[in-house]
Amino acid sequence: MAERVVKQARAERTSAAVLLAAAEVFAEYGFTAATVMKIADRAGVTLGAVYFHYRSKEDLARAIVTRQPDFVVPPDSSKGLRRAIDLTRTWARQLASDPMLRAGGRLVWEQDRFMHDAENSHQQWTRLITTDLQGAQDTGELRPGVDVSAMARLVVNACTGAQMHSYVESRHMDLPSRVEEIWRCLLPGLAATGGTEALEPR
């Protein structure tokens, strides 16, 4: 029993090390130029160890993209409109330094090569923001008549565009201020109060 637990723990550590190495390699080289050998070398494991946990480079890329929300956890619990804002703020602050998010940010440009029938990154984030905005609409935080689905798509599209421009101009260092700017432009027509109170520190 103890031996099985030790083996399982070792396998989990190896799997996590491979995934982290894959994120670093994808962030550095992009999906096309990344190789399983580069990932194995970065993780300090054999090719066999990589393939034991992940069937292919595509499998690794899908794992990183589909788990993006797991790496974005706002520091404070919030709901509705505030949670949508907190989610994008946290993502923007972490992107410059978190290898998993940096990999996800780069892989989003190439996801048509490995996501196939799975939910892609845009759909995934849109679904999460839609849920938060729907909660805000249900509690009267939004102006009457706001199209929640369309607004969620707009937020995701705006953040994606900000991410791309921010990478070119500052390697994502100014992304938090760009996300703040997005919300300051959107909130007057979105929030029931017509102001930007949701952006203020609590």
What are 163-187's pLDDT values in tens digits?
Answer: 999 989 998 999 999 999 999 999 9
What is the domain partition of the chain in residue ranges?
2-63, 68-199
Q: Which fold has domain 68-199?
A: Tetracycline Repressor; domain 2 (1.10.357)
Residue 91 or residue 110, greater confidence: 91
Q: How far is CA 79 from CA 125, 129, 144, 160, in A?
A: 16, 11, 19, 23
Mean of the pLDDT values across residues 18-29? 96
Q: Is the pLDDT of residue 30 over 90?
A: yes
Cα distance between residue 15 and residue 5, in whole Å: 15
| Average pLDDT score, the chain | 91
pLDDT given for residue 201 in this prediction: 64
Cross-strand partners of 142 = 191
Q: Is the pLDDT of residue 53 over 90?
A: yes
Mean of the pLDDT values across residues 4-19? 85
Q: Is the pLDDT of residue 202 over 60?
A: no
Cα distance between residue 103 and residue 64, in whole Å: 7
Question: The pTM is what?
Answer: 0.86
pLDDT given for residue 48 in this prediction: 95
Query: Closest Cα partner for 50 from 18, 20, 26?
Result: 18
Sign of the dihedral through C-alpha 119, 120, 121, 127: negative
Select 2-63's CATH number: 3.40.50.10420, 3.90.650.10, 3.20.20.70, 1.10.10.60: 1.10.10.60
Cα distance between residue 195 and residue 129, in whole Å: 20
Q: Is the pLDDT of residue 6 over 90?
A: no
Residue 92 or residue 113, greater confidence: 92
